[in-house]
Amino acid sequence: MRPTDADRRAEDTGLPLCDARALAERGKAWSWEVLEYGRPVRAFALRFDGAVHAYLNRCAHVPVEMDWQPGEFLDSEQRFILCAVHGAAYEPASGRCVGGPCGRGRLTALRTDERDGRVYWYPSHDIRPLASDPPA
């Protein structure tokens, strides 16, 4: 499908995701749905060491969602993103596998930005919003 003007604008300026205060340091993630190659998939954003990081909610070991409760991704010490299925551990800032059965895999990152008290995410060629028009 050819990108529309709205798609191009979203890639340049981002799409509003949530209020920045909704993401507490090492707290619960913000989850939403995107289209990857036209297929719906969940994504999540969390705050770690002050910065917002976002990934597709899909483990590199087996392509399943990873949160152990909705929006809860971090281990008990809040150091790693932990897959609830078999315990793969990922570095929150890079999405790189650092332990468990994810091997050399990494999470699929989504670009985010934080400005004027809001968090934005940036669609890409492969990962699009559910609707082609950004919310007003």
CB-nearer residue toward ligand FES: 66 or 127: 66
Give the Cα separation of 96 and 88 in Å (integer): 10
CB-nearer residue toward ligand FES: 45 or 88: 88
First to last CA, the chain: 23
H or E element at residue 117: none
Q: In the complex, what is the shortest distance from the CB of residue 45 to ligand FES, in angstroms, rounded to a whole number?
A: 19
Sketch the per residue contact string, 60 through 99, with ligand FES: x for CB under 6 A, - otherwise.
-xx-x-x----------------x-xxxx-----------
Helix (H/G/I), strand (E/B), else coil: 20: helix
Question: Can residue 58 be called a binding residue for ligand FES (CB under 6 A)?
Answer: no
CB-nearer residue toward ligand FES: 27 or 105: 105
Beta strands in the chain (DSSP E): 15-19, 30-36, 39-48, 51-56, 81-82, 89-90, 97-99, 109-115, 118-122, 127-129
Q: Which residues bind ligand FES (CB under 6 A)?
A: 59, 61-62, 64, 66, 83, 85-88, 100-101
